[in-house]
Amino acid sequence: MTILKNHYEKIFLAVSLFCATVISLISLLTAPESVVQDDTTELDMFWFDSNDNGERVLEFSKETHLNPGDTLTFVSKEDETSFKTVEIAQIVLRSRGSYTLEIAGKKIDGILMSNNDLFLDRTWKKSKTVLDFVPDSGRPSQIPLSQVSSITGKKQFIFDDPIEELDPDEHFLSLYQGMNAQDSDHNDTRVDRVRWTTSAEESNESIYDLFTPPIIYLVDGNLTTKLPEKEVITVVKTEEFGLTLDNFQQKPYRFRMKGFTSEFPFFEDLDPADKEKRHNTRIKMVPGTPYKSNLDGKKGTPSLIPTTEDDVDKLLMVTVFRVDTVQDEKSGGVRPIGRAMVRDFKLGGKVFEIRHGWPEVFAGENEIILNYRLEGADEKIVLSDKEIGKTIEFGSRKYLIKEIDLSDKSLLIEKRGPSPNDIRTEKLVLP
């Protein structure tokens, strides 16, 4: 007892420390397991932002196949009877973004190769827009948007009316993605609502019930429930070249000799434009004198008027004229015939002969007739063989005449359009 009295405080402190240690160990060993949320499959990360146009957009951290017309419901985590439902007015596909396109039941992964972000509204399936799409396996393709049944990937969402910015820590999302579910009256429970949850592939859940006999295939060393389908990529048909060569022949010269005297010939101007202006198409041609077109002449004046050799607009000149006699095949006698040597300055100064009585004269100039094979075009194109480098435009298309081959009567033409990257070169020959 003497020992207990002398060491009472020390004994009490030791017992207290021992009890505290025992209680701590018991607490650690018997602590309840961490509570795991019963909603581990739900990914409710979303945020609001503004795009380059100043519009309020909604973004998800997860890929979806939500389209314009689908609805989103923001539900309060504290009170599930408090929610806000909005309909998606537009989706934004990012330029150079990775997306999965579904065409005729086949999914194609690739990159959208557009210069700018693509905005799709509720009528996107009726759009005539063509997507420049590069599949992960395959060549770049132009795919009509009207043939695409769904687009999966990370998108931005725009609404008809601005909505307040909601905190993802206070709300979760309930989505409707076209699952043919009956319309909700918003009185269902959180479990009953269509939820944004992890897919069966991510959660390792089976698509079969307990007594469903599975049909499983072994493809390339992997087990699958369906045989692979042949990849189908729809490619927009390239527009035809749109030009054909219809005629390539010598062009009759504009003038012929209709009469003569002993000193000079009379030429007839066959240009229809001069006849419409009611010019005098019968011209006296003085040898050694250049002539040019009478562009401002009044009715009755000659279609050609004399000029000087220094005139850049000079057209032709009779260099030599003479009258010969030839035997008449019908009468057996002789008759005079006028012969003129003509220099045409527009044909490079070439000299050729024109005789009285010749119905047509060919000076070496060719006439080329092209025809459109495009919708909305009904006119022909008439060229000469001197028009190398000429550009012909139709709509958003440009045709450049690069070469004209007189030996095989062909043209080499470069076409640009209708799309900026469409460049083709073809050789046109007579059919």
Q: What is the largest CA-CA distance in the chain?
A: 179
pTM of the model: 0.40
pLDDT surpasses 70 at 145: yes
- 179, two tokens: 């699952």
Which of 317, 278, 321, 318 has the alpha carbon at shortest distance from 300? 278
For residues 153-173, average pLDDT: 79
Asked whether the predicted pLDDT for residue 402 surpasses 80, the reply is yes
3-state secondary structure of 10: helix
Q: Is the per-residue pLDDT at 289 higher than 70?
A: yes
pLDDT tens digits for 292-342?
998 888 888 999 999 999 999 999 999 999 999 888 777 778 889 999 999
Quick: pLDDT tens for 181-192. 444 444 444 444
The structure tokens listed for 316 are 């032709």
Confidence of residue 167 (pLDDT cuts 50, 70, 90): confident
What is the rounded CA–CA span in Å between residue 117 and residue 129?
13
Mean pLDDT value across the chain: 79
Mean pLDDT value across residues 107-133: 84
Query: With bands split at pLDDT 50, 70 and 90, how would you rate the model's confidence at 232?
Result: low
Confidence of residue 291 (pLDDT cuts 50, 70, 90): very high
How far apart (Å, rounded) are the C-alpha atoms in residues 96 and 240?
Answer: 29
Indicate the helix (H) or strand (E) that contains 130. Answer: strand 130-135
Looking at the chain, the whole-number percentage of residues with pLDDT higher than 70 is 79
CA 44 to CA 171: how far, in whole Å? 8
Q: What tokens were used for 388? A: 């190398």
CA angle 193, 196, 201 (to 5 degrees): 120
Whether the per-residue pLDDT at 89 is higher than 90: the answer is no
Instruction: Give me the residue label for tokens 């948007």.
Output: 145
Helices (H) and strands (E) in the chain, counts: 4, 29
- Domain spans of the chain? 46-204, 243-248+366-429, 254-359
Residue 272 has pLDDT above 90, yes or no: no
Higher pLDDT, 155 or 264: 264
Q: What pLDDT, on a 0 to 100 scale, did the predictor assign at position 352?
A: 92
Ranges of beta strands (E only) in 278-328 are: 282-284, 290-293, 304-306, 316-327
pLDDT confidence of residue 233: 66
Cα gap 64→14, rounded to integer Å: 64
Q: How far apart are CA 217 and CA 73, in angstroms?
A: 40
Residues ≥6 apart with Cβ < 8 Å to 429: 245, 408, 409, 410
Q: 196 pLDDT exceeds 60?
A: no
Q: What integer is the mean pLDDT of 102-125? A: 85
pLDDT over 90 (residue 255): yes
29-87 residue pLDDT tens: 554 443 333 343 444 467 877 777 778 888 888 888 888 888 888 888 888 788 888 88
